[in-house]
Amino acid sequence: MSRRRTLGTKKKIALLVSAAAVAGGGAFVMASTSNAAQPAQTAAESTVCQGLATALGNNQRFIDGQRANPDAQSEARIANRQAVIEEIKRKQAASGCVVGESAQDSQSAQNGQQGGAQNGQGAQQGQGGGQQAGGGAQAGGQQAGGGAQDGGGAVAAGEQVCKGSTVTLSGEGGAPAASSNQFPAGTRLKVTNLDNNKSTTVEVTSVSGSCVLLNNAAFEQVREPGKFLIRRAVIEKVG
């Protein structure tokens, strides 16, 4: 009788352990299924996703511009920006955003509201950069007094440019730097995030599809935690 009771107790323990394991596994499967069922967020639903979609859109626009007006360096620039786009897509996936969603920023519309349509970069280069004053509006609506531009948005050092622009990241690595479709390489820009009063001063090192895009290192200096878009920014030309 004693042996039968002992075996019966062991069997009961084994059954209880098995049942707990099955229940735990079922809970894990249910939790995994629940997480997987959560839909990815769009740019309209998340500031993080909006910033990443804007960054992806700016890089795509830059690639389109290079393909429309190619030069000797276009292939290398396009290859670099395609690698940047893939990095942005990885960030979209990690942030729970729709991967590959692209959104153009409102730079063109903002410039149009501030004094007229802005001439395209390709047209500016074709004109030699010296006959823009009578055409489109300048960044921030400021024109050089009837003369040729200085190649840096026709504004003096210390003046605000790109008024109303949002700022996002280009996705490029390296030391803090910026890219721009209005300011030539070597121009120094100060970007201030009015939501946290953080600023960074960077040098333009490459061309982009927006007034100013910050690379990863520069964006980290002024961003708010978890955000990939600066809605309220002040951009100044400082050199």
Angle CA 28–33–39, to nearest 5 = 140
Residue scoring higher pLDDT (153 or 186): 186
- Assess whether pLDDT exceeds 50 at residue 120: no
Q: Is residue 32 in a domain? A: no
For residue range 52-108, what is the model confidence (pLDDT) as tens digits? 999 999 889 889 988 999 998 889 889 888 888 998 999 899 999 999 999 865 443
Domain that holds residue 130: 107-237
CATH number for the domain spanning 136: value is 2.40.40.10
Paired residues of 206 in beta bridges = 179
Could you give the number of structural domains in the chain? 1
- Residue 157 is predicted with a pLDDT of 61
Q: Is residue 97 in a domain? A: no
Q: Is residue 12 in a domain? A: no
Return left, alpha or beta for 96; rule: phi > 0 is left, psi -120 to 50 is alpha, else beta.
left
For residue range 127-161, what is the model confidence (pLDDT) as tens digits? 343 333 333 333 333 332 333 233 444 555 678 99
Confidence at 209, pLDDT banded by 50, 70, 90: confident
Which residues have CB under 8 Å from 21's CB, separation 6+?
none
CB neighbour class for 196 (10 Å; exposed up to 12, middle 13-18, buried from 19): middle
> Given the DSSP bridges, would you call strands 188-193 and 233-237 parallel, antiparallel or unpaired?
antiparallel
Percentage of the chain with pLDDT > 70?
Answer: 62
